[in-house]
Each structure stands twice: as C-alpha cells, then as structure tokens.
Amino acid sequence: MCTLVVLHQAISGVPLLVAANRDEFYDRRAEAPALRQTPGGVTVVAPRDARGGGTWFGVNASGLCAAVTNVAGAAPGPSRRSRGLLVLDALEAGSAREAAELALAAAPGTYNPFNLFVGDAREAWAVTCSVAPRRLRLDPGAHVIGNVALDAEPSAKVARLRAQAARVASRAPDEALEGLAELCRGHCDADPLAGACVHTERYGTRSSALLALADGESGETVLHFADGAPCTNEYGVFTPLLQELARGSRRVEGESVARKIS
C-alpha cells in the first residue's frame, strides 16, 4: 500500500516535489538512503531493500527521481525480477523521458505489476504495468500514485490524498515540504489502511522520503527521510548526500550522511 505524492511544475522555483511513504511488513529489513551503485555502475542516492537488493525511491546526479509502488492483484510471482531493481535501472537514464522509455521497453512478465514514477526538472512520467507496460505523461499539478493501475478508477484513498496534495501545492515554496510531511503523517481512524501513514499488527509504513528539486536559482535540492512511520519518527536531513552525489563523491558504497531536523 505504498503512496507517492508528486507536485510537478506546481510551485514556483521548485519544479518537482515528491513524498514517498513505503508500506511493508515489519520484518522486511531495509537500509536508509546512501550513495549506491546501480547495476550499470551509476552512482545514485537511494535507500535499499535488504531482501530484494533494489530500492523503492532514488535520485541520480542529473536530478532524475524514480520511485515505484506495487499494483495490488494476484499473488506475485516469486521468480520475476524485483521491482526495486526497476528503479535502479531507471536511475541510469539521463532524463525522465529516457527513463520512461526504458521502462516501457521491459518485456511483459519481467516484473510483477507496478506503477513507476520518473521525474526531473522538465518532465514527469508514470509507467503502469499490470500485463504490459503503458506510459502516461503527467501534467503540471498534484498527483498521487498508489496501488491501483494508473489507468483504472482511483481508489477513495488516492482521491482524498490528491485533494490534500492540491492544497499543499497552493502553499509558498518554503511551506510546501512541511505540508507534504503533514500529509505523510496522516491517519484514517475508520480504516488503518486508508491513511497515508499505515499501522496494522504485522504491516505498516516503514519509512517516508521527501524530495524537493530546486531549479538551481531559488535554492538547493533537499532530501529528508524518516526511518520508520513519520508520525512517530523524525525526518532526518539527507541533503548532504545529494551534494556529494553532485560532486562525484568517492565515498564508500552504502555509507550515509544525515542529521536530524532541528
């Protein structure tokens, strides 16, 4: 039940804001964002799924962000390639358009059903795949990607969060990131799975990431990450990793740099 919130070309000076809540079983171990290598040897900033070896969210030195959600349906085929590796493959591209084209070329049946988001300062795309991948260009504005195929009727949860995201998009640039954090912390008392922040006995929101991609003139690109449900865990500032990525850092694979938000 992962949730992605995207504000694309909606706020002046910040062409892309992304919030990513990852929902997973509590016993599935993951690692915080760090400098990592894609299969093709490209350095990126991303957390890591310790079981599958991939990631659900990441950014490369070109300012390309990629993130994935599962699409609910039949039981996943265990022999298929991890959807987290799809994100790493996308981050080897130089632009959102190129990343979407690469995902669209994936052979049917390679992955279990997914929604892949790719965006940069210029464009934002989504590739949805239940049987064969289909590409959608995202218009400027607020978008929410959940666990339903993007060309299907949105769930009540997605529709509600999209309305909240549109209100965040009307805020000033320096308030929008906190607005997305507030959205990511939100619960639904009537249904624990219907909020952005999910809590059940064995499954729930394991982490939350916030990315604000600046246009290069109005400020710096920032990355915040909460290791655990954001309603009870502080967001740490992982922006130094992006700065090292931009400098072509030689830091050891998997080493992280972070501090708590004061």
Q: Catalogue the E-assigned strands of 167-215.
A: 203-213
CATH number at residue 119: 3.60.60.10
Q: Is the pLDDT of residue 250 over 60?
A: no
Q: What is the mean pLDDT of residues 222-250?
A: 93
CA atoms within 13 A on the CB side of 75: 2
CA-CA-CA-CA dihedral for 30, 93, 1, 224, to nearest 10:
60
Distances (CA, A) of 131 to 76, 119, 135: 12, 23, 13
Q: Is the pLDDT assigned to residue 241 strictly greater than 90? A: yes
pLDDT exceeds 90 at position 50:
yes
Give Cα separations from 203 to 42, 133, 170, 194 (angstroms). Answer: 32, 28, 33, 13
Q: How confident is the model at residue 74 (pLDDT cuts 50, 70, 90)?
A: low
Q: Give the separation between CA 240 and CA 32, rounded to whole angstroms.
A: 14
Q: Quick one: average pLDDT of 101-112?
A: 89
Q: Do the Cβ atoms of 150 and 130 come closer than 8 Å? A: no
Taking the model in full, what pTM does it have? 0.93
User: Residue 135 and residue 91: Cα distance in Å, rounded?
Assistant: 17
> Domains in the chain: how many in total?
1
Binned at pLDDT 50, 70 and 90, residue 262 comes out as: very low
Q: pLDDT value at position 257?
A: 46
Report the pLDDT averaged over residues 79-100: 95
- Angle, CA 235 vertex, CA 125 and CA 232 arms, to 5°: 115
pLDDT in tens, 149-178: 998 889 999 999 999 999 999 999 889 999
**Strands of 159-251, DSSP E:** 203-213, 222-227, 236-237
Residue 79, pLDDT score: 80
Residue 78: predicted pLDDT: 79
Query: Domain residues for 109?
Result: 3-260
